[in-house]
Amino acid sequence: MELADYGWWAQAVRWAHIGSGIMWIGHLWYFNFTQTPTMPKIPTELRPAVVRFILPEALFWFRWGAMFTLVFGLILAYMNGYLIDAIKLGIGSNNHKFTAIGFGMWFGAIMWFNVWFIIMPNQNKVMGVTPATPDEINAARRTAGLASRINTLLSIPMLYCMVFAAHYY
């Protein structure tokens, strides 16, 4: 089935994919370019408020933005008829669009994995959701920060691949 066969639903899924992607990458960049560099400048007595009130809310939208971006992206690839070709990075199809979108999808999947299985479990220790010793909290903060920076670096080629695939002629 081609995208046109899905009519309105195809555009709704595309809109949801793009919207949740903006939510996810926007929060990713907020954490790495705003919150993390600003935290040392915040007076010590005010930092718990950020960890207790702002961080949990931002991480909620960050985490679920990642999940919905991945899910809607996979649905969109299926609706467009290139899911398997993209997963295979276009190998065997000789189609540059499938290769580009495939790399973008794999970067996104790696980033999603980092969010759900590295960043969030470690941030839960930092926020006190998961019990941890002070040493474990410091290690968790470093691990989550490193995974977040890796995601920030991966977000650039991921976005490029997605745009390239959509605009390759």
Q: Distance between CA atoms of 106 and 88, rounded to whole angstroms?
A: 10
pLDDT of residue 167: 85
Grouped pLDDT means (10 residues each) for the chain, 169 residues = 72 96 98 95 93 94 98 96 95 93 97 98 96 97 97 97 85
pLDDT of residue 168: 79
HSE-CB of 46 using CA atoms within 13 angstroms: 6
User: Tokens 């990075």 belong to which residue?
Assistant: 89
pLDDT of residue 159: 96
pLDDT of residue 169: 65
pTM tops 0.85, yes or no: yes
Q: What does the domain layout of the chain look like in residue ranges?
A: 3-167
CA neighbor of 62 nearest in space, from 38, 86, 32: 32
Q: Distance between CA atoms of 82 and 102, rounded to whole angstroms?
A: 9
- Per-position DSSP letters for the chain, written without gaps between them: --GGGGTHHHHHHHHHHHHHHHHHHHHHHHIIIIIHHHGGGS-GGGHHHIIIIIHHHHHHHHHHHHHHHHHHHHHHHHHHT-HHHHHTTTTTTT-HHHHHHHHHHHHHHHHHHHIIIIIHHHHHHHHTSS---HHHHHHHHHHHHHHHHHHHHHHHHHHHHHHHHHH--
